[in-house]
Amino acid sequence: MGRIFKNIVVQPGKLRDFLYESFVALTKTVLMCGTALALGVMPGPSRGNLWPIFNPQVYGPEISTYITDPYTFLHYEDGIIAYLLWGWWGWTDPPFTTPFKLSPMEKAIWDDFGGLLLGLIAGYLFEVAENSDYVINEVRANHGTSQFYQGDSRLNSFVDILALGIGYSMTKVCFEYGLGWFPVLWLVISETISFLTFRDNLLLSLIQLIHPMEWIKNYQEGLVPDHLKDVMRVGYWNNKLRDSPNEFLNKLMHSPKAQNKFATYSREHLHLTFSFLDKRCLI
């Protein structure tokens, strides 16, 4: 019984440390990303949208243009994975010990700053790669909800890297206080919830990028409303060029295949489809 009460007393201290480390990660990340944003080197084809702060929709031209979206949670997972890969290199106690011969000062620097900095740099390079033509075309061709994807906005990229930094910090604090199981459990639960809700996660994204599977694409497509699903099937999946929504609409409206496809649709249904796309052409 005494041990239980002892653990209860320690909890506020763990919470304070967690909040402190999260604040440190937030500060370091904001400084790094803010500098990159100010210098104009933050990746992304556009600034993005400030409101709403969170956009739950994962289909349509507005994908990854708002500050946060469901994929922000996956970047939080990236922070957990980053710590599991190299964050513990400064450790001197079990269960992990550093694989390198580091001086006490080097271990302290790595533990306090180096590991997080490496994670933020990795996140930044990932955002650069994610906004490349090759990755954008692969995502549009193989993800069931991303046929209008045009890359992450600069604001979205900023917050994605921020989420990685906070995920890294949370994992660091948990391991320091004997709660290393928590971020691992979080990772498993987050992957599962993401799979069931917006039908994507780190594992599915990796599979679709390396070895695309049709059943995954079809499963993801189930989230797309019918009035957009047929638009995508008309030819957008096979379009390897990064047409803007306006350009795609022009092609669609003059395509015999599209006209045959939509021949059975009512005028109201078609108006809903085109108005949905047209309102998002300015993103």
pLDDT (tens digit per residue) in 62-94: 889 999 999 999 999 999 999 999 988 877 666
Question: Which regions in the chain score pLDDT beneath 50?
Answer: 1-10, 235-238, 240-241, 280-283
Q: Which two tokens stand for residue 199?
A: 């039908």
pTM of the model: 0.78
Q: Which two tokens stand for residue 13?
A: 């201290």
Question: 34-47, pLDDT tens digit by residue?
Answer: 776 676 677 887 88
- Report in angstroms the alpha-carbon separations of 105 from 108, 109, 110, 200: 5, 6, 9, 42
Distance (Å, rounded) from C-alpha 269 to C-alpha 157?
A: 34
The answer to whether residues 282 and 246 touch, using CB atoms and an 8 Å cutoff, is no
Distance (Å, rounded) from C-alpha 157 to C-alpha 125?
A: 11
Looking at residue 250, its amino acid is N
Query: Residue 54 forms beta bridges with which residues?
Result: 68
Sketch the domain layout of the chain as residue ranges.
9-224, 225-283
User: Given CA atoms 151, 59, 243, 48 in this order, what sign does their dihedral have?
Assistant: negative
Distance (Å, rounded) from C-alpha 47 to C-alpha 256?
A: 36
What 3-state class would DSSP assign to 152?
A: coil
Distance (Å, rounded) from C-alpha 170 to C-alpha 221?
A: 33
